[in-house]
Amino acid sequence: MTGKFITIEGLEGVGKSTQANNLAQWIKTKGHTIVRTREPGGTPIAEAIRDVVLDMHPEKMDPTTELLLVFAARKQHTESLIRPSLTKGAWVLSDRYTDATYAYQGGGRKLDLATISHLENLVLKGFKPDLTIWLDCDAEIGLARAKARGALDRIEVEDIGFFNQCRAAYQQRFEADPMRFIRLDANQSIEAVKADLVQALEGWYDTNS
């Protein structure tokens, strides 16, 4: 039996890691083995690429370089960890996947969406998550939470306009494929988001398992 591939998406500080813990707990209560992972990263090679993407460099990174790096990491992650785990019947929960590329490199960096789509087809050949949880939150609120937590990485230091464009790109992804997404209001308290998450997951499970 093949497992399910679930991703969790949203801006920084929206609570992806926090709610991924709740999601993982819910998956276990359904009796499934879970593999938790993240992007960029998830395997040794992909984690090395993550460092290049997120570390500060004296040299400015070209946006297309950034795009190619996230897809290089994704290919390794998909073939080395995600697909083999699904084949074994595990459920895979990834903190971010291809929707993040449309949001950050498409919305934020303003790279051509057709180019991103072309790369996606080339690299993933139609492979995509069974379900994507989008934690939607005002960019100011998410960034304030991320800043309160500590030092910012190379992408987190972008201005608020960048993150508003990323959020708008997530909205476009949601509208283009609403059956794959569950959108949650992540401006709420951690407990309120968790309650909405579990309720939505139960509804999804009833029709998709």
> By the criterion CB under 6 A, which residues form the site for ligand Z5A?
10, 12-18, 38-40, 54, 70, 95-96, 100-101, 104-105, 145-146, 149, 155-156, 186, 189-190, 193
Cα angle for residues 148, 181, 199 (degrees, 5° grid):
80
C-beta closer to ligand Z5A: residue 17 or 64: 17
C-beta closer to ligand Z5A: residue 88 or 110: 110
Closest CB 209 distance from ligand Z5A, rounded Å: 26
The owner of tokens 């790279």 is 111
- What is the Cβ-side half-sphere exposure of residue 112, based on CA atoms within 13 angstroms? 4
C-beta closer to ligand Z5A: residue 99 or 209: 99
CA distance 67 to 178: 25
User: Is 158 strand, coil or helix?
Assistant: coil
Closest CB 85 distance from ligand Z5A, rounded Å: 18
Give the residue closest to ligand Z5A by C-beta.
15
Closest CB 110 distance from ligand Z5A, rounded Å: 13
C-beta closer to ligand Z5A: residue 191 or 206: 191
Report how far apart, in Å, the C-alpha atoms of 61 and of each of 54, 69, 82, 116 are. Answer: 10, 11, 28, 18
C-beta closer to ligand Z5A: residue 12 or 136: 12
Closest CB 89 distance from ligand Z5A, rounded Å: 25
Closest CB 58 distance from ligand Z5A, rounded Å: 20
CA 81, chain centre distance (Å): 16
CA distance 103 to 110: 9
CA distance 71 to 116: 9
